[in-house]
Amino acid sequence: MAQDGVFGALVKPESMLIDGEWVAAVEGGTLPVIDPGTEQQIGAVALGTAADVDRAVEVARRACDEERWMRLSAQHRSAVMWKLSDLIAENADELARLESMDVGMPEPTAKAMITEAVNMYRYFAGWADKVYGVSAEIGPAEMRFQGFTRKEPVGVAALITSWNAPMIGNAMKLAPALAAGCVTILKPSEEAPLSTLALGALALQAGVPAGVVNVLPGLGSVVGAALTAHDGVDKVSFTGSTAVGKQIVQAAAGNLKKLSLELGGKSPMIVLPDADIDAAVPALAVGMFWNSGQICTAGTRLLVHSDIADQVAQGVAEAGKAMKIGYRTEPGVELGPLVSQRQLDRVEGYVAKGREAGATVLSGGRRVGDKGYYYEPTVLTDVDPSMAVVEEEIFGPVLGVLSYDEIDEAVAVANGTSYGLASSVWTRDINNALTVARKLKAGRVNINIHRAGGVQLPIGGYKQSGWGRECGPEGIAEFLETKSVVTRMWA
Ligand code: NAD
């Protein structure tokens, strides 16, 4: 049960973290937490409402105005962030257990994500004392000015995340927000709130002052909507679907709050005729099926040169079939269930639509068992770019395979959706790889691997995959305002 271990020790049951205290929701509601591998309820968390949002925003504004975080020296804040990373690392096994219980992913997958989160807090801890601007001498000889820029925290930041990788999603937002000096309200997904609550507790333990990290679980349509519309919030950093991203743009218009939006994707993997097929096939399968395809950057469209299309499609289908699906704690399990019945219905619906439109199911295409939301890695052929299954984000283990004859044709198809998050090119020819990389309209291009990146490099979307970037220097810039200060100089 969720109450065992680190969560039970740190988090008061059915409570939210506001101003350093664990408090029940104003209206007293709770939200059940379901293990997607068994469909059993494993706990419950507080169910926030707009009244809790008002309370949290008031606290956050006060913490911001009192400079509870910013009045500490940059070195002190950096040390606190590093301490937080240590606490996450020390509790990695327990946090991985919690995360895998909530999301369904195998524990080793969750552990890998927690290691990545630790790295993010450490990287941004290093940024806390490197936030500074530029200086310039301005003006003609008879009236000179000395100017400089100050980089200031944007203020109260609402951090809203999706359920597919909560510890990473949180780290990509909370780490730069803290490094920039912001005060935060975290709103985890209703599908997977546990690790975010534990994170709030660890932040307090690390020495983040009360009120600087608040955690507010609840429904997106209630808590998320109230936060994004609230005049007391200066910035929203959101990870989730493009549809909700568009609602947030509208909700944020009232006080024109700053927005960063990490949205959906339909990322292409382009295999050129000279690719090393034996090396590529297993890596393509991982690029698509890891975390059961519930990854924003998953390589959901495979574009293969017609000379090798059948061979590569067959290889990826076999690799998918060989992946062990099962409960999160079973030894050797590579893929867990989908997160919810809703997600399972969505995947089944898209595959049915694909079949109706003429797609061939080369492998997979079925639910596994009748308890838990397990679904087979699925490869569809005989698809075309206009089919919903190829054009729209499914967020499940479903790959569409398309073939092409000319590179430019492949690039046109790759760029032919409203998304532009990630992509990959597979070839032995670096010149071709870089030429394709230049032409792709995506925030990230990987070569001979799919989904490689690191906290040092920004990730984010072209087109409707989002606004702004996370990670790298761009990641902290999203949480900073720039102020120009100019003084007249007397001769
Ligand atoms: P979602 O859009 O349904 O929900 C995301 C978050 O927004 C949740 O916390 C939810 O409670 C909240 N929310 C829902 N309605 C809201 C509203 N009206 N106002 C404010 N907040 C609201 O997405 P999801 O199903 O949780 O996650 C899957 C989606 O997230 C996919 O589209 C995936 O591509 C995307 N994603 C993107 C990235 C990225 O970095 N680009 C990373 C992970 C996931």
Atom 30 of ligand 1: nearest residue by CA position:
240
Q: Name which of 11, 360, 343, 362 is nearest 193 in CA terms.
A: 11
What are the residue numbers of the active site?
262, 296
Q: How far apart are CA 201 and CA 268, in angstroms?
A: 39
- Given ligand 1 and candidates 102, 215, 244, which is best to mutate, with the most ligand atoms within 8 Å of its CB? 244
What's the alpha-carbon Rg for the chain, to the nearest Å? 23
Q: How many CB atoms lie within 10 A of CB 335?
A: 26
Q: Is 187 in the pocket of ligand 1 (CB under 6 A)?
A: yes
Q: How far apart are CA 149 and CA 262, in angstroms?
A: 28
Please report, in angstroms and rounded to a whole number, the separation of the first and last CA atoms in the chain.
Answer: 73
Q: What share of the chain is helix, strand, coil (3-state, %, to 5)?
A: 40, 20, 40
The conformation of residue 421, written as its DSSP 8-state character, comes to S
Quick one: pLDDT at residue 3?
A: 64
Q: How far apart are CA 209 and CA 419, in angstroms?
A: 39
Phi/psi at 310 (5° precision):
-65, -45
pTM recorded for the entire structure: 0.97
For residue 219, the ligand 1 atom closest to its alpha carbon is 11
Q: Is 189 in the pocket of ligand 1 (CB under 6 A)?
A: yes
Cα(239) to centroid(ligand 1), Å:
5
One DSSP character per residue, 198-233 reads HHHHHHHHHTPPTTTEEE--B-IIIIIHHHHH-TT-
Q: Is 180 in the pocket of ligand 1 (CB under 6 A)?
A: no
The DSSP element (H or E) to which 404 belongs, if any, is strand 398-404
- Given ligand 1 and candidates 162, 190, 228, 394, which is best to mutate, with the most ligand atoms within 8 Å of its CB? 162
Q: How far apart are CA 100 and CA 375, in angstroms?
A: 17
Assigned token pair, 249: 């743009």
Atom 12 of ligand 1: nearest residue by CA position:
220
Cα(185) to centroid(ligand 1), Å:
16
**Cα–Cα separations (whole angstroms), residue 267 to 4, 114, 169, 296, 411:** 38, 24, 19, 8, 12
Q: Is 237 in the pocket of ligand 1 (CB under 6 A)?
A: no
Tell me whether strands 446-447 and 299-305 are parallel, antiparallel or unpaired. Answer: unpaired
For residue 172, the ligand 1 atom closest to its alpha carbon is 40
Residue type, 187: K
Cα(433) to centroid(ligand 1), Å:
32
Digitized pLDDT (tens) for each residue of the chain, 491 residues in all: 666 777 787 888 899 999 999 999 999 999 999 999 999 999 999 999 999 999 999 999 999 999 999 999 999 999 999 999 999 999 999 999 999 999 999 999 999 999 999 999 999 999 999 999 999 999 877 888 999 999 999 999 999 999 999 999 999 999 999 999 999 999 999 999 999 999 999 999 999 999 999 999 999 999 999 999 999 999 999 999 999 999 999 999 999 999 999 999 999 999 999 999 999 999 999 999 999 999 999 999 999 999 999 999 999 999 999 999 999 999 999 999 999 999 999 999 999 999 999 999 999 999 999 999 999 999 999 999 999 999 999 999 999 999 999 999 999 999 999 999 999 999 999 999 999 999 999 999 999 999 999 999 999 999 999 999 999 999 999 999 999 999 998 76
Residue with tokens 């639910």: 367
Q: How far apart are CA 9 and CA 32, in angstroms?
A: 19
**Burial class of residue 390 (count of CB atoms within 10 Å of its CB; 0-12, 13-18, 19+):** buried
Q: How far apart are CA 377 and CA 25, in angstroms?
A: 40
Cα(34) to centroid(ligand 1), Å:
18
Q: How far apart are CA 344 and CA 398, in angstroms?
A: 12
User: Please, what's the b/e burial string for 75-105 (b: 16 or more CB within 10 A of its CB; e: otherwise)?
Assistant: eebbbbbbbbbebbbebbebbbbbbbbbbbb
Cα(404) to centroid(ligand 1), Å:
33
Q: Is 363 in the pocket of ligand 1 (CB under 6 A)?
A: no
Q: How far apart are CA 142 and CA 159, in angstroms?
A: 49
Tell me whether strands 21-23 and 299-305 are parallel, antiparallel or unpaired. Answer: unpaired
